[in-house]
Structure formats: structure tokens, C-alpha cells
Structure 1
Amino acid sequence: MAHARLRFGPYELDLDGRQLRYHGQQVRAEPRAIELLCHLAAHRDRVVTRQQLLDTVWSGHPVSESAITAALHAARQAVGDTGGGQEIIRTVHRRGYQFVADVAPAVATAAARGNYDAVRFCQTRDGAQLAYTVTGSGPPLVSTANWLTHLGLDRRDPMWQHWRRDLLRPSRRALRYDDRGCGMSDWCPPSAAPQVWVEDLDTVADAAGYDRFPLIGVAQGAATAIAYAALRPHRVSRVILISSHARGRQARARTDLDRRVADVDLSLATVAWQSADPAFLRAYAAQFLPNATPAEWDAYLAFTQRTTSPENMVRFFEILATMDVFPLARQVRCPTLILHSRGDTRIPAADARELASLIDDSQLVLLDSTNHLLSGAEPAWAELVRHVDDFLAD
């Protein structure tokens, strides 16, 4: 007989109350998806056919195949699983589906929780729930939100493991959070307004008890770091900008050709994610990781697809293309370290040089890499970590 409450990893599933929790916080998901998840978990000793799901979850009412597929996708998304990963729900070809995660009664919580970062939630003035986590001890460090993250998944993701290990190390009291619209924060529409990014960071920093702190912004997260340092100078001691995405392609376009390239780039991103065509998706991923293998591109794409809805994905693309915080950069007065790949094709090094010219107390370091997001194996990564350590130790 199944336990009424099951724990797997950081998740707790209440089979009677039809609720899913992550680190004690309720996961918001489609009710049909939770019902499907509960049914599979309760009958995890066997494969459940699609017909059995129709008879129980949909009470025998006729529904389309796409409705089952959508509910299955939502259930997997709620527990950080994918059709490719299948660590929680496995598809058994031509037979059905089976819940395959290792489970324990919910009373065995202490050891399970010890393997995961504690995720907390706070609420903005306009009612959005933001997820954040604080790890380590020692001097504070805040990592601004950048697209697209998921606090429940990035611990295991090879794209981000070395960033957490080497920059947000245990000797630093590191605060990071999921942006509104993605990850474990509310999947409300993301905002293009720098003032909203600043107010969201205010909310998270206040909830975590941070007063004055250094900021680190990676890729699009650099724009939030710049805006925050400019508009909240009393709270920021210094800033680190990595692969600075401070101005989108449409915003920095100066010629007709630039504007056409920017339009094509936005169209490629939108079509790639909406169609899920592997050729388009890999072409997009190659802009961030030109030296990666196809398997590494696929891993990066699979992680990103788990972080938000398709609608929000398109909205994020539009924000990335049009955002521009270069005017705010002139207002940054604290010491600033800018690290950028010399051969970055996504955001040219020329943009990093221009950004450095706008911030009075800044230093620019160009790294010998072509990746927009550096891998942990390339020599440039060790150089980046050394510069960050030296800068924070000053």
C-alpha cells in the first residue's frame, strides 16, 4: 500500500491532498498534471497505460491525445523532469508510463533536505513570488538573475555547476534567485523595465537580510547589476560583469544591416523554440557555445526548456533584443570588473570596451575564449576565477 505522502529528492507529494511541495513550498501546477503525477506515484510498481490515465485522471471523458501529452509535460515540468531525462516519469514504448524516482515516506525528511539548497520565497509589491536561496557563510555576494535559471535544477546542470562551485563557493554568503517568469519564481510575464529588475532585487535582498554587498552579473544578468548599482548606489560595494549583455542586438544596431541581423536573430530564436526543430535550436545554442559538442548544445537546450513556458520564452527573447542599460552605466560609481571573451560572437568584445569607457572606476579583462558562457574546462575559466577572487579580496 502506498504511503499517503511520498518524498523524492527535494519534493514531497501528498497523494491524499493532491499537493506537490518543493522544500516545503507548494508547487503551483495545473491540477490535472498533479492528479496525473499522484496516480503514477501511487501505482509506481507498474506501467500505467494511457487508457488507464483516461479512466482515472479524466474519469473516462473523451479527450484528445494532445491533452494527455500536455498534462504529462506539465507533470514532468513540475518535478524538474523532461521527456529526454525521464528521471521521474519514464515513457515505456507502446505501453504507457511509470513513476521511477526513488521514494521514501515523507517523515524521512532531514537527510533528504541536506542534499539540496534551501529555497525560500518572497513577494514583490505587485504580488509576484520570487524564489531565492542563500548558501555558504562569510562575506556577502549577490548574483543577479539572468535568463533562464531554475534553482531546483541548476545544481545538477553541467552548464552552471562550475559557476556555482568556483564563484558562489561556501566561503561566501551567496544569494541567488530566479527571475520573475522562470525557474521556481512565478511564471508571470517577465518585465522589460530596469526599474522592475531593481525592485525585484530589493525584495530578494531585503528578504535575505542583505544590506550592502558586491554584485555579480552574468550575461543578461549584467544589465540588472548595472541598473541596480546606478539606482541603488548605497547598497552596492562593487560590481563584476561577465559576458555583459547590457544592450540587446536591436538596441545596439547602427546600420540597416545591423537591424536586419537583429531581426533575423530574434526570428531564429522564436522559431527555434516554438518549433523545437533540432537544427534551429542548435544554431541558436552555437552562438553561446561555439566550441561545444552537439551533445553539450543539446544539454544546454534541454535545461533551458525546463525553466519557463513557451510564451515567456518568446517574451525573454524580445527583452534580450531590445534592452539597453548603457545610459545607466554612466551613473555607476563603485569599482567595477568587466570580464569578456575576446572572441565572443554573441556579444562582441567591442561592447565590453565601450561599457568600460562609460564606467569611471572600471577595469576590463579580455579572456582568450570564443564562448559567451565559459565552460569549466577551458583555461580562460581559471583566469576568470582568479580575477574575481582578487577583485573581491581588495
Structure 2
Amino acid sequence: MTSDRITLACALTGSGPKLVRAGTWVSHLECELREPDTWSTLEALGRHHTLVRYDPRGCGLSTRQVPPFDFETLLADFETVMDALAPEPAALLGVSCGAPLAIAYAARHPDRVTALVLVNGFARAYFSAPSTPPHLLEEAKLLLATARQGWAQERSPFRQIFLAQLMGAAAADPVARHLVSERMRLSMTPDIAERHLRCNYAIDVKAECALVQCPTLVFHARDDQMVTLDQSRKLVAWIPGARLILLDSDSHILPARQEAGRMFIGQTLEFLGGGRPDRPRLSRRQTQILGLVAQGMTDKQVARELALSPRTVEMHVALALRALSCANRAEAVHRAGREGLLDDA
């Protein structure tokens, strides 16, 4: 339950290290299990990780009647989920509008995040970008104007356009289209849909991108019609060390049983160490500090070098020791070196 007494519905799938999916709109935990592509993705990730999912406020199985909210409210909800279900450092999965939530959380809580996986995401939107083309601004305003009227109507032009952009060519499959359409209808009321859409259009986490310290892998469907590839190219430019993988798809929701979906799952598991469950992961700051410790520096020297407090250095070293399952610094430096974790330190 959040500080303003909103109940957030959560679900855990699979087993292993935690992988927490940041909240996305059009979310309904039960509907996802009925969609073959979505279930295939959850099942594949769950073979190596405990996937934590939740419905954002106003959506799915969470409290439906909610007061006005903005991005900071949704971020505070994400923090509530992390505190309750992932108190130890964990990897984050940010899909679509979940990507800026994951980025902002990683920037503000670097010691709590081991890795970021972002899919079809963005840092700035229509109303927050300084140079959004006029025709795109008009498109955004039109969608907002029609969302409330068309959200719940099966045959509304808004619903048809929205599903076509969301699914791409996959919308031609009547069964898949019906299932996603049902999730759209059941996920939220027209009023909440408009409020989430307005919130999404105002997101701006460009400044937070530069503060991300953990390894980051960015995926984007090459012909995504809802969030353009240019958005992920910007993420890679703004997040230090981020890597981009292009997927041959035009769907904003990845078809898990097609090649793009299989590539996403395979690359994600490899990135998160799914193929080697014994391989530890360190945050960028932990790697940086352990690299200086390997050079023989004391905590005070490391603190001066990185403009940190000695207490912060001690905390990072302790987290590194825990991640490496080592009893002391010498053992940690040896194992990190053996695993190749200090190569970029």
C-alpha cells in the first residue's frame, strides 16, 4: 500500500534473482496471462529470474479510483513496490513508459539497481521535448481529445488506430488483437486512460539518464509505430555505456514467439547472467571502486579520488562483497578479476 493508501496489485513469476518490471499503462496482471505472447515472455524470463510485476494505480487489479497523479507519484509507487518485494539490489525491466520510471529509479537509487533492460522506451515525450515537430504535437493533442470517448468502444476509430500502432502487423491476427483489445478495455476506465496518457506525454528524464551507473541494455523494434527508434538512440547517447539492440519488428509489444521476441529473451538472459547463474553482477560504481581498491587504495583515498564520502565507499564495497559472495576485499578483487568484471574499471 502506498503512502496515500492506494493498493497496488503485484505478482511474482518464476524463480531466481529478482527482475522488477516498472509499471506500464494498459496493464492488467490477469489479462497478461491469457495472451500467448506475453505469457511466453514471462515464462521464459521466469526460468532464470523471479519476475516482479504490478499494476499501476488506477489500472488492472490495483485501486481504480485514485486522486490526481503525475510522474513523481508513479515513481513513488515504484519505490513502494521495490521496498516491499525487492529490498536487495535487483535488475529492472522498463517497457515503453516503464522505461523512464526504471531510469529515474536507477538514477536516484544507484545502490538498489544491478542492471537496466529497456524496451521501446523513451526519456522525453511530446510535451516535454524542446523541439517536437508541430504535426506530432497536433497528433498528441488529437489522441488526448479522443481517448476518453473512444477508449472503451470496441469499434471506435481511436481503438482501431491505437491497436494498429500498438501491435503493428500482429494486429492482423484476430485472436491476438481481441486479447490485447480486452486488456485495453479491462485495464482502466476512459478517464484514467486519458490521465495516464497525459502524464506519459509530459515525461522528461533526460537529466536522470546521465546519472545511471548500472549496465544498461536497450532494445527497440526497428519499425515501432508508437515510440520511434530515435527515442532509443537518444537513450543510448544519454545513458553512460548503454548498448542498443535493434529488433526486426513493427510491434510495440514484442511478439515473443517470433524472431524479435526470441532475440529479446536470449539477449536479456545473457545480459543478466541467465546463462551463467553463478556469475555475479556489480553496479558501475561498485566496479569503479573495486578497481581502485585493486590498485591498493584505501577507502579515504578512493573517496577523495571519486569525490565521495568514506562511508559511501564502505557501503559500495560491502555491496560488492555481498554480490561476489566474498568474505574480504582481497578475495573480492581476485574473483572480480577472474570474472572479467574489472576490465572496464
Q: Which amino acid aligns with 1:385?
A: I
Where 2:240 maps in the other structure, the secondary structure is coil
Q: 1:130 aligns with which of 8, 13, 20?
A: 8
Could you say what secondary structure the match of 1:364 adopts?
Answer: strand
1:359 Cα shift? 0.4
Aligned-partner Cα distance in 1 for 2:143–2:191: 18
Equivalent residue, structure 1, for 2:93: 216
Opposite residue 21 of structure 2, the aligned amino acid is S
Candidates 23, 29, 32, aligned match of 1:151? 29
Alignment correspondent of 1:366? 246
Give the distance between the partners of 1:390 and 1:247, measured in 2 at CA.
Answer: 29
Q: Equivalent residue for 2:73? A: 196
Unmatched tracts of structure 2, length 5 or more:
274-280, 282-345
**Residue 206 of structure 1, aligned match among 80, 83, 95:** 83
Structure 1 residues 95-142: Cα deviation after superposition (integer angstroms, max 9, x where no partner):
xxxxxxxxxxxxxxxxxxxxxxxxxxxx11111111112232221211
With the length of structure 2 as denominator, give the TM-score of the two structures.
0.73
> For residues 133-191 of structure 1, what are the alpha-carbon distances to aligned partners after superposition, in whole Å with 9 as ceiling and x for unaligned?
22322212111111122223321223521221222x14312211111111111113376
2:68, 2:235 → 1: CA distance? 23
- 2:42 counterpart letter in structure 1: R
Instruction: Report the Cα offset of residue 285 of structure 1.
Output: 0.7
> Structure 1 vs Structure 2: percent identity of aligned residues?
30
Amino acid at match of 1:261: E
Stretches of 4+ moved more than 4 A in 1?
Answer: none
When the two structures are superposed, what TM-score results if normalisation uses the length of structure 1?
0.64
> CA–CA distance in 1 between the matches of 2:255 and 2:192?
27
Give the aligned partner of residue 59 of structure 2: 182
SS of 1:129's equivalent in the other structure is: coil
Q: Secondary structure at the match of 1:166?
A: helix
1:318 matched to 2:202: no
Match for residue 62 of structure 1?
none
* d(CA) in 2 for partners of 1:390, 1:186: 36
What is the deviation of 1:360?
A: 0.6
**Matches of 2:27 and 2:43 in 1, distance apart?**
16
Normalized per residue, which structure has more helix?
2
Please identify the structure whose Cα radius of gyration is greater: 1
CA distance in 1, matches of 2:193, 2:220: 25
1:147 partner letter? W
Aligned residue type for 1:302: E
1:171-212 per-residue CA deviation (whole Å, 9 max, x = no partner) reads: 312211111111111113376533323322222222225321
Q: Which has the higher contact order (CA 8 A, sep 6+)?
A: 2
Taking the TM superposition and a 5 Å limit, the aligned residue runs for 1:25-44 are none
Q: Structure 1 residues 191 and 333 mapped into 2: Cα distance closer, same or farther (>3 Å)?
A: farther
- 1:324-373: CA deviation from partner (whole Å, max 9, x where unpaired): 22222122121100000111121111111011100012101111111111
Q: Which amino acid aligns with 1:243?
A: N
Instruction: Indicate the larger mover: 361-370 or 155-164.
Output: 155-164
Task: Label 1:224 to 1:155 Cα distance change in 2 as closer, same or farther (>3 A).
Answer: same
CA distance in 2, matches of 1:170, 1:294: 28
Q: What runs of 5+ residues in structure 1 fail to find an aligned partner?
A: 1-122
For residues 319 and 191 of structure 1, what CA distance do their matches in structure 2 show?
A: 10
What is the one-letter code of the residue matched to 2:82?
A: A
Separation (CA, whole Å) in 1 of partners of 2:92 and 2:264: 16
Name whichever structure is richer in strand by fraction.
1
- Paired residue for 2:17? 139
Aligned equivalent of 2:166: 288
The CA distance in 2 between the partners of 1:154 and 1:364, in whole Å, is 26
Amino acid at match of 1:236: V
Q: How does 1:307-346 map to 2 (within 5 A)?
A: 307-346=187-226
SS at match of 1:160: helix
> Counterparts of 1:91-106 in structure 2 under 5 Å?
none
Structure 1 residues 137 and 377: alpha-carbon distance in aligned structure 2, compared to 1, 3 A threshold: closer
Query: For residues 149 and 137 of structure 1, what CA distance do their matches in structure 2 show?
Result: 22
Q: Is 1:347 matched up with 2:227?
A: yes
Q: How many residues align?
A: 271
